[in-house]
Structure 1
Amino acid sequence: MTYKDLYVLIPSHSLEDFPTELGDRPAEGLLNAWSVLWHPALVAAADDIPHWHRADDPPSLLAGRLVVVPPACDSMVTSEWINTAREAGMAIVSGVHERSALISAVLEPLDEKPDVPADLVADFIAFGHLHLQTELLTRHMRQFGNIDDDRLRNDATAAARAAVAGDESACRTHLKHCFEMLLESREKFYPVSCYLIDLCLTIPRLAGEPLGHVLDDDTPVNLMGTAEDLAEIVAAHPEYQSTIRDRWQAGTLEIIGGEWAERCSTLLPLDAQVHELDRGRKVLRELFGKAPSTWGRRRYGLTPLVPQLLKRSNYHGALHFVMDDGVYPDEEFAKLLWQGADGATIASYSRIPIAGDSASAFLRFPVRMAESMDHDYVVGLV
């Protein structure tokens, strides 16, 4: 089969009411269904970019049409329509939410399956994901879609044809133009910089291969952990010590924290809190040659004494949120001045982070980013 066009069904009337609150499995299926259709083999075969269609009003029957039905749309699409569409020569993929399985399912009907390098395929799928995020963010910022579809179609199909033909240089040139169109679209309603902050929660139990992958990547990252945990990690994996030290010195890695251990600081006397902080910072200097300049912790410990302790210890910033229980002012800002009992202030970030391993969190990403764009002087999400 050779595809004539590519469609993904969405469980809404349009992108304006696109769902943002789904469980992980339906969210994963919806995001992957949108992104996978940007696979270069599919775009090159159809000589067109993917389109979306309402699930409660499926597209007309046309031989050679590929339609992906994500699990979130299962209740809106009848089995009779799926059977009729297949009898009419359409390729219907339904009931699949995992990305690799979905890629296999959409490529299976193709007569010719070109061998495209995995990194190029990943870039196309990443573009598909960012295309959806940009379109949704545009709507949540109360704007109309402003991506030039003709320009996008020309560059995307040219990139896909180059990828299939093995011309990586031409492929990346055209694909770069596609990414630049997304940037242009965002700059029309928010023309200044906004930030994504990668925060990696580090504990000894998960410090083997997963942490090694993080350290081997050049992407800037922040490791949040206690000095006790980091000392245990270095003892078990001595090769990490020099990598963390070198990347920290180079400015591509930062350690967030500084306390020796996350004790119940609200019940500790002031001297004990000072001792925990001084001990932790001393250990980190011995291990990595530096002490943290940004404070944060997983367990509750946000008290009126913290700002003055941090200023005394030469901190420049703090994370004013925790990922455990606790009662504290929960207004969310990308930048605020946290004032302590003695009047000392420290620049802080208080927006609740989104989980990097949750499809549901990425479905809510445009909403969270729009909130920051609406209310923050400096826009950023962790």
Structure 2
Amino acid sequence: MASIDECCILIPVSTLEDFPKHAGEEDARSLLAAWTVLWHPELVAASQQTPTWYRADSPPEFDDAPRVIVVPTLSVSQLPADFEANCRAKETIQWITGVDRQAMLDALGLSKRASSLQTEHRTVGPEDFFALGYAMLQIQVMTRRLRYTSNLDEIHFQNKLVTAADAFVAGDADACVAAMHDSYDALAEERDHYFSSDPHLVDLTLLSDSTLPAFFKSLQNGDDVADSETNDSVGDSTSVLATPRNVLIDAPIAGAISASPTEDRQRLVNLIRGGEWGWAGGGLGGDVSLDAMTYSDTENAITQAYEQTATQIGLRPPVYARFSGTTPTDMTKVIASLGVDGMISVDFENGSGFGDEAKVVRNTGGVELHALTAKPIDASGESAFLALGPRLGEAIDSGEIATGLMVHWTGYESDSYHDVRRVASWSLVLGRFWTLAEYFRSGEQPYHHDPSGAATSGTDNALVSQVVGGSSNAVSSMVEQAQQSIAKQNQANLQAMIALASGKPCNGSVDDCEQAMLASIGLKPSQHGGNLCLINPTPCPVRHTVAIDGTPVKEDHIYAATGSGKQSMVTVDVPAFGFSVARNEAGGGSRGRSIGQRLRDVVSGTGKLCAIDGMLQNAFIEIAIDPQTGGIKGGYSGQSRGNRFSMRLVGVEGTQKKKSTENESQMVCDQMKTIVAKAERGVIRTTGHLTDSTGAKIGAFELDYQVTRGNRMLDIHGKIDVISKLEGNPWQNYFAARCAVANEAVSYRMILRDKMHRTSSRRIVAPLGVLMDEIERQTVVASAGLAYHRRVGDRFLDTLLQVQGETQRQFSLHYGFDLPSPVLAARSVATEPLHANVETVSSDASRGWLIHAAPNTVLVANLDCMLDQKGKFLAIVRLIQTRSQTCNTTVRFCRNVSAAVRLDNRGSLDLDALATRLAEQSDSPRVEFSEDRIKLTLSGHEVVDVLVQFDA
């Protein structure tokens, strides 16, 4: 190539400090290509100097000397009038533009020139010069943007660059490589002058069913020159530094890999074992919502997905990760128990889950695990690479762990991504590439803690994705998942109760368990309805009204009773994990109440009715139904006077201002009717329609409001028919039940995975419900699986009932007032005690419990019973502190305890290991035990498994 006087780029800035941080993808691609293309070795050799730059808005007047001028698309609009025409008129000037580097190389005629030279250790080609130009740009921009003075010896750097270019053109590979090392080292010294620590670079390939064939093909071809050559020690000046990649394999992709050809799967395993590739995975698929599950079901789902991945790949993932969906902080203990070195909390599909810092400490229940929370860099585009160096430098400057997490699909990688990889194969100037396992094991260790909450980040966006993507029943499917999770746990609890009472493990269906439960507590089933046993397999005590033949015996657990023909309606208190029997005065053979008893009821009356004149009432609450709207116009409860609660249905279309009533829907009642008005129960039904701001009907409703005797809960069972079509973002276009409290200083706590967590989010995803805390009084929205709630203003909460694609019209909601244990109550609303007619029993045997935990903020979530090899009866009990405060906990059993010890890992212990743990009690945190109880301390939101051995 003929000699060139100068190679320059016209950039749209006044100084490098102003080099664009953000630009559209096309502009960024053109800008970075324009900068790096001038570093082609033939251009450098022809000009004998480092490429330079000028301001696009005020370039110099160029003479007739030979030169190359490259103009990115961002600079075109800033050029002076007639400047381009004057330059193009000069035959000695090459005016180069293009959308990318290849187009500019074509314009320069360099596309088909000599491509590479080979030395003993590595191959060197024009791409390595492009990478050097990119590194030079990033270091210079970083230095200026952080207000430092450049210490780069530009003359030395230029001499080495020109020497490398001359050697490349002459075909002297060894001299070229040596000079290139000196050039990269000069940039590294410049960076080290300010930051001695090296940034961390992580290259992560994402997989899907559609990209899996291309991924395996890339492994077969050995793509990426740096990976295919020798990776010697960092200290060797002639070495190629390691630039390992990583791949994310969650449970669904692991299944697809296991079904792939054996040679493909084995090649990947060999690369992982050899250290060329790292990996993370084992997470659940995106179709599984952790927020719809109990804590224990979430633990099981995470563990099963991880073990499934390990089995199908043949290796255990060293780092836990999901492609779709984040993993909340309260599951840190579960993830740590898998034996991983760290976890990635980012939801790659929905673009959420990242934080302000790249690497943080997650601490839950006394267990620490490091998490990668860096915002992903889209390695398929150029925009994120405009300011990679300054971004990493700013992180180091602020004391953070600088991490560039470059994420891409196979075959979708930008030129700048490849430039960064090539830079890292020469020098650590922009950082070092890590496998994910080594990043957590040997990389810089974090000291800042993860500030994120328990809710899985982006779950609200997942609803949007479902609805916009055409999924049906996004709301009701969550209801079904949540209720199934609770029902499954109640079934397991019932079996545990039988085992605890009988002293041997129990298995079987619900019907079998019911009969086995009666037998284990010494009750005999009966064909008569005179004595009714209520069995409560939930951790929450319940007050339930049932009908029995005859008149019940007055006992402590009988809250109240009233007559109804030949029957009595009895309100019974049933303890958690216990039973209560409503006994007939005349014994089990009684067929009904006597004529005299029925006459006395007529004379004396049946007590205060629960429904009268549009009002629902009992000893704890009064609910006034609005005959104009069909909603609730007033709720009265507790010591504070005045209205504390209201509720109505709303139709929302588009965003609304915080305190504006403009465009709000109106609820209109067509009919209000008292359905049930008895002492034990009151039901008022309202039917009507909703109108928009113009008066047009947009929906019809039917609501049954119910209050039962002695209960602090208002139950609503309703049906809503949408007339207008719902479309678009479900958080902005929906029908909902909107409740309001009196105090604007209300704080919100969501009930999630058996715990109560404070939240400031406007969009709340909590299947069990939300606590509205007004300090002196509390209102629980127990939503029984209706998971999506939206705060409106300061004191309104919408519970979404209908969104686009929802076909389920019926719903149930429960509002509790000043409940002593909100979490336990929210779990119990969808469950009723089991009923069984029994033979006559004595007063002493008419009530009992098998497990009792105190205080009432502690949830007994699971109980697994077993016999060890010596026939000793053991149980593993899971305790969850539902609130954030530390508490001293006592758990009592129906059997005496002979030993108790904490377990670090519930799922990985066999019977021999359990026996060993009992023998090593001194190595465990303190668990006191005596007679029928154990005592221990639980920190806020802690989940503890305790192994208990019972007396024979």
> What's the TM-score once normalised by structure 1's chain length?
0.91
Q: How does 1:178-189 map to 2 (within 5 A)?
A: 178-189=183-194
> Contact 1:82–1:92 (CA<8 Å) still a contact in 2?
no
Percent of residue pairs identical: 26
Structure 1 residues 187 and 37: CA distance shift in structure 2, 3 A: same
Q: Give how far 1:362 is off.
A: 0.4
Q: Structure 1 residues 220-229 or 316-325, which shifts more?
A: 316-325
The aligned residue for residue 365 of structure 1 is 388
Q: Give how far 1:163 is off.
A: 0.8
1:31 and 2:61 matched:
no
Structure 1 residues 116 and 245: CA distance shift in structure 2, 3 A: closer
Amino acid in the other structure paired with 1:70: P
1:294-346 C-alpha deviation (Å, 9 max, x unpaired): 11223233323320111221122112332344886x64223211123x34321
* Whole-angstrom CA distance in 2 between matches of 1:88 and 1:325: 52
The aligned residue for residue 70 of structure 2 is 68
Q: Give how far 1:19 is off.
A: 1.1
The aligned residue for residue 251 of structure 2 is 227
1:133-167 C-alpha deviation (Å, 9 max, x unpaired): 11112223321222211111111111111111111
1:275 and 2:300 matched:
yes
Q: Give how far 1:363 is off.
A: 0.7
Q: How does 1:156-171 map to 2 (within 5 A)?
A: 156-171=161-176
Q: Structure 1 residues 253-262 or 143-152, which shifts more?
A: 253-262
* Whole-angstrom CA distance in 1 between matches of 2:246 and 2:361: 21
Q: Give how far 1:237 is off.
A: 4.2
Q: Give how far 1:64 is off.
A: 0.4
1:78-98 C-alpha deviation (Å, 9 max, x unpaired): 462122123233424344121
1:152 and 2:181 matched:
no
> Contact 2:97–2:104 (CA<8 Å) still a contact in 1?
no
* Whole-angstrom CA distance in 2 between matches of 1:238 and 1:50: 50
* Whole-angstrom CA distance in 1 between matches of 2:198 and 2:359: 14
Number of equivalences: 377
* Whole-angstrom CA distance in 2 between matches of 1:180 and 1:214: 31
* Whole-angstrom CA distance in 2 between matches of 1:161 and 1:304: 56
SS of the residue 1:88 aligns to:
coil
> Contact 1:226–1:260 (CA<8 Å) still a contact in 2?
yes
* Whole-angstrom CA distance in 2 between matches of 1:214 and 1:141: 40
Amino acid in the other structure paired with 2:58: D
The aligned residue for residue 269 of structure 2 is 245
The aligned residue for residue 311 of structure 1 is 336
* Whole-angstrom CA distance in 2 between matches of 1:300 and 1:195: 24
* Whole-angstrom CA distance in 1 between matches of 2:366 and 2:352: 21
> Contact 2:324–2:349 (CA<8 Å) still a contact in 1?
yes
SS of the residue 1:348 aligns to:
strand
Structure 1 residues 125 and 234: CA distance shift in structure 2, 3 A: farther
Q: Give how far 1:271 is off.
A: 3.8
The aligned residue for residue 701 of structure 2 is none
1:253-300 C-alpha deviation (Å, 9 max, x unpaired): 222121253321121233433333333333333344321121122323
Of the three residues 355, 360, 369, the one matched with 2:378 is 355
* Whole-angstrom CA distance in 1 between matches of 2:93 and 2:262: 52
Q: Give how far 1:349 is off.
A: 1.9
Structure 1 residues 172 and 206: CA distance shift in structure 2, 3 A: same
Amino acid in the other structure paired with 2:56: A
SS of the residue 1:236 aligns to:
coil
The aligned residue for residue 132 of structure 1 is 137
* Whole-angstrom CA distance in 1 between matches of 2:179 and 2:320: 42
The aligned residue for residue 87 of structure 1 is 89
1:333-378 C-alpha deviation (Å, 9 max, x unpaired): 23211123x3432111222111111110101313421332123443
Q: Give how far 1:48 is off.
A: 1.3
Structure 1 residues 148 and 40: CA distance shift in structure 2, 3 A: same
The aligned residue for residue 512 of structure 2 is none
Structure 1 residues 150 and 101: CA distance shift in structure 2, 3 A: same
Q: How does 1:207-226 map to 2 (within 5 A)?
A: 207-213=212-218, 216=222, 217=224, 218=227, 219-226=243-250
* RCO comparison, higher one (Cα < 8 Å, 6+): 1
* Whole-angstrom CA distance in 2 between matches of 1:121 and 1:147: 23
Q: Which runs of 4+ in 1 moved over 4 A?
A: 324-328
SS of the residue 1:146 aligns to:
coil
The aligned residue for residue 52 of structure 1 is 53
Structure 1 residues 349 and 282: CA distance shift in structure 2, 3 A: closer
Q: How does 1:255-270 map to 2 (within 5 A)?
A: 255-262=279-286, 263-270=288-295
Amino acid in the other structure paired with 1:35: T
Amino acid in the other structure paired with 2:86: T
Of the three residues 390, 400, 403, the one matched with 1:380 is 403
SS of the residue 1:275 aligns to:
helix
Q: Structure 1 residues 301-310 or 66-75, which shifts more?
A: 301-310
1:175 and 2:198 matched:
no
Q: Alpha carbon RMSD of aligned pairs, Å?
A: 2.4
Structure 1 residues 326 and 126: CA distance shift in structure 2, 3 A: closer
Q: Structure 1 residues 249-258 or 33-42, which shifts more?
A: 249-258
Q: Structure 1 residues 281-290 or 344-353, which shifts more?
A: 281-290
1:147-198 C-alpha deviation (Å, 9 max, x unpaired): 2111111111111111111111111111111111111111011012221111
Q: Structure 1 residues 205-214 or 113-122, which shifts more?
A: 113-122
Amino acid in the other structure paired with 1:75: S
Amino acid in the other structure paired with 1:286: T
> Contact 1:16–1:139 (CA<8 Å) still a contact in 2?
yes
* Whole-angstrom CA distance in 1 between matches of 2:258 and 2:57: 55
* Whole-angstrom CA distance in 2 between matches of 1:24 and 1:290: 38
Amino acid in the other structure paired with 1:371: E
SS of the residue 1:3 aligns to:
coil
> Contact 2:25–2:383 (CA<8 Å) still a contact in 1?
yes
SS of the residue 2:278 aligns to:
strand
* Whole-angstrom CA distance in 1 between matches of 2:352 and 2:195: 34
* Whole-angstrom CA distance in 1 between matches of 2:326 and 2:164: 51
Amino acid in the other structure paired with 1:65: R
SS of the residue 2:132 aligns to:
helix
Structure with greater proportional helix content: 1
* Whole-angstrom CA distance in 1 between matches of 2:4 and 2:352: 56
Structure 1 residues 327 and 162: CA distance shift in structure 2, 3 A: closer
1:187-216 C-alpha deviation (Å, 9 max, x unpaired): 011012221111111112112224532573
The aligned residue for residue 295 of structure 1 is 320
Of the three residues 189, 201, 206, the one matched with 2:206 is 201
* Whole-angstrom CA distance in 1 between matches of 2:350 and 2:113: 51
Structure 1 residues 214 and 194: CA distance shift in structure 2, 3 A: farther
> Contact 1:261–1:276 (CA<8 Å) still a contact in 2?
no
Is the radius of gyration larger for structure 1 or structure 2? 2
> Contact 1:254–1:292 (CA<8 Å) still a contact in 2?
no
> Contact 1:259–1:279 (CA<8 Å) still a contact in 2?
no
Q: Structure 1 residues 16-25 or 222-231, which shifts more?
A: 222-231
The aligned residue for residue 101 of structure 2 is 99
Q: Structure 1 residues 371-380 or 68-77, which shifts more?
A: 371-380
SS of the residue 2:114 aligns to:
coil
Structure 1 residues 5 and 237: CA distance shift in structure 2, 3 A: farther
* Whole-angstrom CA distance in 2 between matches of 1:54 and 1:90: 21
* Whole-angstrom CA distance in 2 between matches of 1:326 and 1:128: 31
Amino acid in the other structure paired with 1:163: F
